[in-house]
Amino acid sequence: MGKNILIVDDAAFMRMMIKDILNKGGYQVVGEAADGFQAVEKYKELQPDLVTMDITMPEKDGIAALKEIKEINPSAKVIMCSAMGQQAMVIDAIQAGAKDFIVKPFQSDRVLEAIKKTLD
């Protein structure tokens, strides 16, 4: 158990919510990033088992960061997070290599189910 996870979201309260869900689920959050640039840097530095990635962020969005992470490590496991009504972006994300996606507002059981499924 004790899989290492990197949380990427431009909203601090969203990172806090995901971190809380993951900690309760027995996962270890090894890092957080607030945009796509930080996400790629933290990924290289921490080599997490899984990344939760927000799609809509300033500077560099989640899909661009996902593509870069996949170039660094083609077997990287990334779960995208999106608000309602971003279906087209979710399809782009899956085509770019995302393993799953979770919709905001987060439901703990759905988050943990997506993570468990992706890591197994």
CATH number of domain containing 81: 3.40.50.2300
- For 102, half-sphere exposure in the C-beta direction (CA atoms, 13 angstrom radius) is 26
Q: Give the model's pLDDT for residue 105.
A: 86
Residue 30's domain comprises 4-119
Sign of the Cα pseudo-torsion (95, 99, 100, 105, in order): negative
The total number of structural domains in the chain stands at 1
**Within 13 Å and on the Cβ side, how many CA atoms surround 93?**
26
Number of Cβ atoms within 10 Å of the Cβ of 23? 12
| Of 41, 26, 32, the residue nearest 7 (C-alpha) | 32
pLDDT in 10s for each residue of the chain, 120 residues: 469 999 999 999 999 999 999 999 999 999 999 999 999 999 999 999 999 999 999 889 999 999 999 999 999 999 999 887 667 888 899 999 999 999 888 899 999 999 999 998
Name the pTM for this structure.
Answer: 0.94
